[in-house]
Amino acid sequence: MTSALPAQTASLIPRALRHANGIKLRKIAPRTQQAEWHPPKTRIDPVSILVTQGEHRISALLPVRYARMAVSPFAFLRGAAAVMAADLAGTLSAGLKVQSCGDCHLANFGSYASAEGTAVFDINDFDETLSAPFEWDIKRLGTSLVLAGRESGLSEASARNLARSMAQCYAQEMVRLAPMSPLEIWAERIDLSAAIAGFQDKQARKKVQNLLDARLESARTHFGLVAEDYGTLRLTEKPPLVVRLPEQDEAIRAAFTRYIATQPPERAILLSRYTLQDVIFKVVGVGSVGTFCAIGLFSTPDNEVLLLQIKEAQVSVLAPYLPPSVFHNQGERVVVGQRIMQTASDAFLGWTHSSGTDEVDGETGSLPVGQRQFYVRRLKDQRLAAIGAEFAQIGLPDYALLCGRTLARAHARSGDVATLAGYLGGGRAFADAIAGFSVAYADQTKADWKTFCAAIKAGRISTLPSALSSKENVSSKKKS
């Protein structure tokens, strides 16, 4: 019987043999069977999974999270990564692992500026990243495309085709990358302007380019978060989602101090030019709501600004279904995963913690009581980062292809590209199967969303008025 080798071991075998091994894997894990989704009789109630997850978050923010998830089935999918992780763990896998995003849906792709100032398109959320079967990211992305297609008013056939074309593009890109050297693969990146120029829809192409130009200009104003008060810079509140939490101020400042103290010498020199002036708490995303997230305003004596974001990193939702992570600090897990998957990562990436040690209980994966673990990055331009979701609203078919291509490049950096290409092939078998799974799981998500909404109505979980719902959702607020 042929089995998949770890990418590090497989890389010592000639490319042609690895490709042949990938073809043989089709007998062990037939590509047509990747379409299968049947909820097991022992499937855990999705609301129970979310309630348990909420026990490790800031309770006062949970109603905000639930309100955002209640908007639509797609919004629910965004917040229910833990639910889908439990389901994916029981699905077919060819045994080929990659550094997985762990929460791969269409709104977690976006743009950011590289060190050279070029707008790069890539995956931009890594809170759940772990080494996992490559199929898990593709199936979650496909499901999100089907849900977004439905909520955008596409026919059922067109919504299904979004997932199929994404998976087909993923396979084609993997086949294209397979003959390349590791160095060539590692250097591959997607220039967003060039990608937009390749969109088939001319109207979408023009709208997206105009949107990108406007977003790049807005990044120069510090996103409207910084104000000057009698010569002193401060962060501005934007209640209820950007607020001051005086009782947490000292803990955040201490965590930033630990971050700076652990930076490599060359980064420490740069950071020494800045002083932490102000901190503020910020609610972010859908799935992340309830985790601790704050912004630090650093400035020079001449009021030149550096904005850093510190974000809590909890145990990945994939962790219960995979071997233990080698990282004791969950922030380090996120940072390393991001550096592996992204072609141009933030130079300020780092990790820290609130108090105590970095040690995690080896059996339960739990943190020491009272400790929070964080990763730090330069504050993303949320309007630029969220541009992917807005691209999707303008032209979903082109966006689906871009996401498939991007995901393949991200997986190729850590996975065995030749074996993956051999397994996937150049035909439609794998893509058709992913489309089938995506439709079936989109139906499951809609059913779970209805169960979730019923739990809100019954008072099992509490929510807030829909006015606080995320503006980042790609879907309309129509209930499907």
Start-to-end CA span in the chain (Å): 45
Name residue 310's beta-bridge partners. Answer: 294, 376
Q: Say whether pLDDT at 465 is over 50.
A: no
Residue position matching structure tokens 């997986």: 411
Overall domain count for the chain: 2
Residue the block writes with tokens 């497989």: 10
What is the per-residue pLDDT across 59-71, written as a single tens digit (0 to 9) for each? Answer: 888 998 999 999 9
Strand 305-312, strand 293-299: pairing: antiparallel
List C-alpha distances in Å: 312 to 211, 334, 372. 31, 10, 7
pLDDT at 103 over 50: yes
In a domain, 204, yes or no: yes
Give the length of the chain. Answer: 480
Residues 54 and 74 in one domain: yes
Give domain status of residue 478, yes or no: no
Tens-place pLDDT, residues 277-314: 999 988 877 778 778 899 999 999 999 999 999 999 99
**Region 79-96 average pLDDT:** 97
Same domain, 357 and 392: no
Asked if residue 406 and residue 373 are part of one domain, the reply reads no
Is there a single domain that holds both residue 339 and residue 443? no
pLDDT of residue 359: 47
Residue 346: band (very low, low, confident or very high) from pLDDT cuts 50, 70, 90? confident
Residue 258 in any domain: the answer is: yes
Higher pLDDT, 223 or 445: 445
* pLDDT 10s digits, 4-54: 555 655 667 899 999 999 999 999 999 999 999 999 999 999 999 999 999
User: Does residue 115 sit in the same domain as residue 192?
Assistant: yes
Domain boundary among 362, 384, 406: 384
Which strand (E) or helix (H) includes residue 439? helix 429-457
Residues 263 and 378 in one domain: yes
- CA 336, 342, 348, 352 dihedral sign is negative
Same-domain pairing of 67 and 209: yes
Q: For residue 113, what is the DSSP state?
A: E
Whether residue 216 is predicted with pLDDT greater than 70 in this model: the reply is no
What would the pLDDT profile of 144-191 be if each residue is shown by its tens digit?
999 999 999 999 999 999 999 999 999 999 999 999 999 999 998 888
* pLDDT band at residue 208 under the 50/70/90 scheme: confident
The model's pTM is: 0.88
Of the residues 384, 403, 428, the one at which a domain ends: 384
Identify whether 205 is part of a domain: yes
How many Å apart are CA 140 and CA 161, to the nearest integer? 15
pLDDT tens by residue, 349-370: 999 988 654 444 444 444 444 5
Residues 470, 80: Cα–Cα separation, whole Å: 15
* 477 within domain boundaries: no
Look at residue 472 and tell me if it is in a domain: no
| Residue whose pair of structure tokens reads 């229910």 in the numeric block | 80
Q: Give the separation between CA 352 and CA 477, rounded to whole angstroms.
A: 38
| Judgement on whether residues 171 and 32 belong to the same structural domain of the protein | yes
Residue 414 predicted with pLDDT over 70 = yes
- The number of CA neighbours under 13 Å toward the Cβ of 275 is 8
Percent of the chain with pLDDT over 70: 86
* pLDDT of 360: 45
Residue 1 lies in a domain: no
Helix/strand/coil percent split, the chain, to 5: 50, 15, 35
User: What distance lies between CA 299 and its chain's CA centroid?
Assistant: 30
Residue 81 structural domain: 7-217+385-465
Report the distance separating Cα 105 and Cα 2, nearest Å: 31
Strand partners, 131: 99
- Looking at the fold, whether 65 and 131 belong to one and the same domain comes out as yes
How many Å apart are CA 276 and CA 253, to the nearest integer? Answer: 8
What is the band of 245 on the pLDDT scale with cuts at 50, 70, 90? confident
Average pLDDT of the chain?
Answer: 86
| Reported confidence tier of residue 99, pLDDT bands at 50, 70, 90 | very high
Q: Do 257 and 208 lie in a common domain?
A: no
Instruction: Using alpha carbons, list the distances in angstroms from residue 336 to 124, 326, 327, 412, 443.
Output: 13, 11, 9, 16, 34
Average pLDDT score over residue span 118-139: 93
Query: Of residues 433 and 363, which shows the higher confidence score?
Result: 433
- Mean pLDDT confidence for 462-466: 66
- Mean pLDDT, range 369-374, rounded to an integer: 74
pLDDT in tens, 109-127: 988 777 666 778 899 899 9
For 143-173, the DSSP string reads: HHHHHHHHHTT--HHHHHHHHHHHHHHHHHH
Q: List CB contacts of 206: < 8 A, sequence separation 6 or more.
A: none
> Is 308 a domain residue?
yes
381 pLDDT tier (thresholds 50, 70, 90)? low
Considering 357, 384, 411, which residue would you say is the last residue of a domain?
384
User: Is residue 259 domain-shared with residue 405, that is, in the same domain?
Assistant: no
Least confident of 56-65, 91-100, 202-211, 440-449: 202-211
190 with 54, same domain: the answer is yes
Q: How far apart are CA 446 and CA 76, in angstroms?
A: 8
